């Protein structure tokens, strides 16, 4: 995925959206991915977009529209995190942690 984020990073300009000031189909097409990355960061404290400041700003602009929340069920965060941040996944087990081995990760929380 990092290759796609890197391509988007190169294409993004001053924004706030992909094509500038106006929300477009490209923004809508990327909304699910940017939203899921937002949810993971919110609950697991792992930021997939940290190396891509333009993509991160683009994500913030899209999230500020409220469209992501309108496109999913009310209990989406709960259902998403119950599976993707469970003890049976990479993120849920804390394997994404960059902390030293003696620092414990809270359940579902990356260090």
Q: Assess if residue 96 is contained within a domain.
A: no
pTM: 0.76
Tell me which residue range forms the domain holding 32: 2-84
Name the domain count of the chain. Answer: 1
Q: Assess if residue 90 is contained within a domain.
A: no
Q: Assess if residue 72 is contained within a domain.
A: yes
101 or 42, which is more confident?
42
Q: pLDDT confidence of 110, banded at 50, 70, 90?
A: very low
Q: Give the 3-state secondary structure of residue 17.
A: strand
DSSP character for 105?
P
Q: Assess if residue 60 is contained within a domain.
A: yes
Q: Assess if residue 21 is contained within a domain.
A: yes
Percent of the chain topping pLDDT 90: 61
Report cis status (omega within 30 of 0) of the bond before 110: no
- Residue from 37, 27, 44, 34 nearest 105 by CA: 44
Cβ neighbours of residue 13 closer than 8 Å, sequence gap 6 or more: 20
Residue found by looking up tokens 């294409």 in the block? 11
Residue found by looking up tokens 């189909």 in the block? 25
Q: Assess if residue 103 is contained within a domain.
A: no
Q: Assess if residue 91 is contained within a domain.
A: no
- Residue from 43, 82, 11 nearest 35 by CA: 43
pLDDT at 102 exceeding the cut of 60: no
Q: Assess if residue 51 is contained within a domain.
A: yes
Percent of the chain topping pLDDT 70: 79
CATH number at residue 78: 1.20.1050.10
């Amino acid at each position: 995925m990092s290759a796609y984020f890197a391509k988007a990073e190169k294409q993004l300009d001053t924004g706030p959206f992909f094509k500038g000031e106006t929300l477009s189909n490209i923004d809508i097409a990327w909304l699910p991915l940017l939203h899921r990355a937002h949810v993971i960061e919110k609950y697991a404290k792992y930021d997939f977009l940290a190396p891509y400041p333009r993509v991160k700003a683009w994500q913030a602009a899209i999230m500020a529209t409220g469209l992501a929340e309108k496109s999913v069920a009310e209990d989406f965060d709960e259902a998403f995190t119950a599976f993707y941040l469970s003890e049976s996944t990479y993120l849920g087990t804390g394997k994404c942690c960059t902390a030293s081995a003696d620092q414990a990760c809270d359940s579902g929380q990356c260090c």
